[in-house]
Every structure is written in structure tokens, then in C-alpha cells.
Structure 1
Amino acid sequence: MRTSSDKISIVKSSGDVVQFSVTKLKKSLKRTGADDELVAYILETVQDELYEGITTKEIYNRAFALLKKKKNVFASKYKLKKAIYELGPTGFPFEHFIGAILKYSGYKVAVGEILQGECVQHEVDVVAHKNNETTVIECKFHSEQGLVCNVKVPLYVHSRYRDVKNHWNTFKKHDTTLTQGWVVTNTRFTKDATQYGNCAGLYLLSWDYPVENSLKDIIDRLGLYPITVSTLLTKREKQFLLNRDVVLCRELIKDSFYLDHLGVSDTRKKRILAEIQQLCNA
């Protein structure tokens, strides 16, 4: 007799062994916009193929293939987490991605700024201005799954933030007030990291934190998907676009001439832009 799916042990990318959760899989499938019938079909198919010790990667690949077979836009939204990892291996495209999200949220943004602190200069990943207030943002990008941000990260960022703030708010030439420091990661914070960040007054943003306003929530809500979610662009084409600071799908719609530079045929170009347009409007 086949083991019940809720008693199957699966292996995460970190190496941790956990119980398979049909609820988590269902939630991730529903986020794609797939209807109840398709979600039920995929859940049944995946559960039928489970075995003891299966990896989360294998489960993901199966669900992704089933979504892609039905509709590209579902598969694109499902691969969001993986797509952010694909912004690597360096953190520079991730910094531009975070900057682009803030820009579309009404901020005036600069990436890779050198700011004077009270003691020393600091290279700040993203500086954002809005309503006469300034925010400095440190981005911690991991290109490998399973890695997390421990308490050392907000400790380090907080000390830099205080040094910059002490100088910024006493320097008369600044026409804004430095009010907040952020730490943003594409993975997760440990419990100690979130506890310290909250106590110190830092704003922490990760893949799944804060609840209901996490990085994945913001991306879905605003439709600000990275170009790496595309199921039609090749790895080489994505890298070409990232090297030209085209990080968001919305930016490629605006700067579609880059596809001509890549030698993309008119037919394929229409398919790529249609996929991306549908994703942004989903």
C-alpha cells in the first residue's frame, strides 16, 4: 500500500529533511493564477509520484513542467524564486532589481552610491529618496539555495547605517533626512537576525518576510517580475539584457529593441513580448 503523501519525507536544498506538505505546494500553485481544476490535477499527479527522500527540486521540476504545458505565464510565476537566484552569480543585478522595485513604488533611486559616514566612507547598494526622507539599503544576495542571513548581517548593516546617518543628518547640504536602514535578501533571515533587526529599528525584507509584505508578495502585487522568469528567453539572452541593466520584464517591453540586437526573429520576438506582457498584467 502506498504511503500517505503527508508522511513522505522530502529533502530541501539546504539538506534538511522535512515532511511533504500538500498545503504548501497548493499555495505555491495558486499563486500562479492557475484555476482550481489545474491545481487539483497537478497536486494529484505530484502526490502519485512521491517517494521517500525525494528532493524539493524534483517536486518543483515536475510541477513546473505541468504548469508550462498548460500556460507559460503560470510556469513563469511559479519559477519566481528560482528566477531571482538566476540574477546571480554576483549581487549586482539583484541590487538593480531592488532599485527598480523601489523606483516603480515612487522612490528616486541610486544604485552603488558612496556615502560619507561620521567615521569612514561606505559603499551603499541602494539609496532611495521619497517625501523628503532617505533610506539606505544593503542587499544580501545568495546565488545558492539553502543559504540564509544570520544575525551578523543586520549587526554589520546597523553599524554602517548609524555611521552614515550621524553624518547625513548633520550635514547641511542634504535636503532630506536619513530615516531608515534596510536589509534585503533573496533568501531568508534566521530568527536571531529578525529579532535583532526589529529591536534595532532596521527594516528587514526577505523572500518570505514580513508576512504578507515579503519580497515575493511585493513582486506579485506590483507585477514587477525579473526577466529571468521568462520561459522563452535563453540563458545567454537573459545575461545580455542583465548586462544592459534591463532587469524587469516591464523594462524589456519598453526597450524591446534589445531583442533585435540579439537577432531574435520577429515571430519569436512577438511570442516573448506576449509572454512578458501577459505576466505583467496577470
Structure 2
Amino acid sequence: MSLILAALGLLAASCAALPNADKVKGFGEAASSSSTVMKDALNTNRLVALKTSREREADAYITGRSYLLRMDDRDKEMLLDAKEQVAVLAALDQYAKALVKAADQGVINELEAASSRLGTAAGTIGSAIAPTAAPVIGPALKLSGRVVGLGLGNAYAAEIQSIVRATDPTIQQIAETMPISLSTIATVASAQAEGFEVQRQITLDTIRRDPKVDRLTLYKEYMVARGEVETTDTQINALVSSAGIFDQLAKAHGALAKGSPDAAILVKQFAATSSELAELIKAVRNTQGS
């Protein structure tokens, strides 16, 4: 009886700090969206190298010069290895989606596994990060929720809170190390984008010099090129400004972990920023070639 009463007291004391399902779901959706945007942006390095090669060789072909049907060594030298960064973002996406599922359906096992995978992936970027072990929920807290019959809602919320709290050091370290890691890629990609724009202009100039090409065709070629350059720039800007999105990620997750009264506001801000970034890239892509 005394154990049950103690469990009841522990549960009552912790209820105020338990995460609201809407806040957890909102954070998870925002984190998943932003990690997807960052993964796509990381691919810009390889895509720009490929596009630049295609433009250069196409211009050589249509002007009667020797050409290649593949990337040459100078293009391949610009390809950066971003497997570790992509792995972290993929693990972050899985963790975020598991949070949403836990908030919707009370599925805890997948969240524990995703938390552990995130810690392991993050360890490849920052040596200070140790793999996050699957959190252990206090037996008294489990007893109070499930045996006494206070409602599965509180029991699940307590377990989610425990996992979020255990994962938070990993999230904070990711927020600190990833922008630094991405800055090198962003610098190289920015230089690549400038080279691609120049090469795209060279091709457009070649096409325009042909008197047989009508104005409507020229217009369409310009709009396609403009869309490609703008899409590339938008994705690179996502890498350049990644510190801001990761800072909001860290603050929102930290507030959830601590049960802070500011959690709702911070999650809402993070969600708004993530949505704005995703919608911007989507809008630019939709106008490409239109």
C-alpha cells in the first residue's frame, strides 16, 4: 500500500511536467520536416557538380567541340563525402517520426529504439556524444499509471518524457556540431553554385546566338535555367543558415525535456520556421520551368 501511495505522489508531482501530446507531435513533425530539408540540401553538392558537368559538355557538343558523356575528374574532385551528416539527419527524422507516433498511438518501443539510433549516428559527428541508451522508466511511476489504473495517458506521457529527457543531451550536441559540420559543405556548394550559374549562362548564350531559335524557345530556356539556379541557391541557403534551425530544434526539445512552461511557444516557433523553410523550397521548385 505504501508503495502505491508513493507512486501516486510521484505521479502527481510529475504530471505538471509531462509533455502534452500536441506539443510532442508538433515538435516531431517540425523536426522531421527540417531534417528532410537538410538532407535534400546536402545532395546539392553532388547535383550541382553533375549539372555543371552536363552544361559544360552539352555546350561543347552543340558548338562542335570534343565532349564527354560522363563527369570528368575535375567535377568528381568537387564531390564531398556527407554520409555521416546524412546518417545523423536520417536518424533525427526517424526519432521525430517516432515521437509523432508515440504521441498519437502511445507506441514507446519504436521511440526508444529511434533514440538509441540517433545517439549512435550522432557519435560519428561529435566525439563528445555517446550513444543514447534506451531510457529506463522508474518502476514506481509505471506502477502508479498501470496497476492503480490512473489512466494510460499519464503512463505513456511519463515514458515519453523519460525518453525525451534521456535523448536531450544528444539533441543539444547535434545542434552544436551539425552547423559546424555543414558549414564546410555549404562553402564548397556555394562556390559550385556560382560555377554552375556561369556555365548555365554560357549555354544560354550559345543557344541565343543561333538565329534559327525563336524568342519563345529562348524564353522557355531562360526560365528553366532561372528555376534551376534559384532552387540550388535556396537549398544552399538552408545549409548556410542551418545554425538557426538547429538552435530552435535544441531549444524546443530542451523545453520538452524539462517540462518547461515555454515549451508550447518554442515548439510553435520551431514548427513555423520549419514549415516556412519547407514551403519556400517547395515554392521555388514548383516555379522551376513554369
- TM-score using structure 1 length: 0.27
Q: Specify which structure has the higher proportion of helix.
A: 2
Q: Highest Rg: 1 or 2?
A: 2
- TM-score using structure 2 length: 0.27
Q: Specify which structure has the higher proportion of strand.
A: 1
Higher relative contact order (CA 8 A, sep 6+): 2
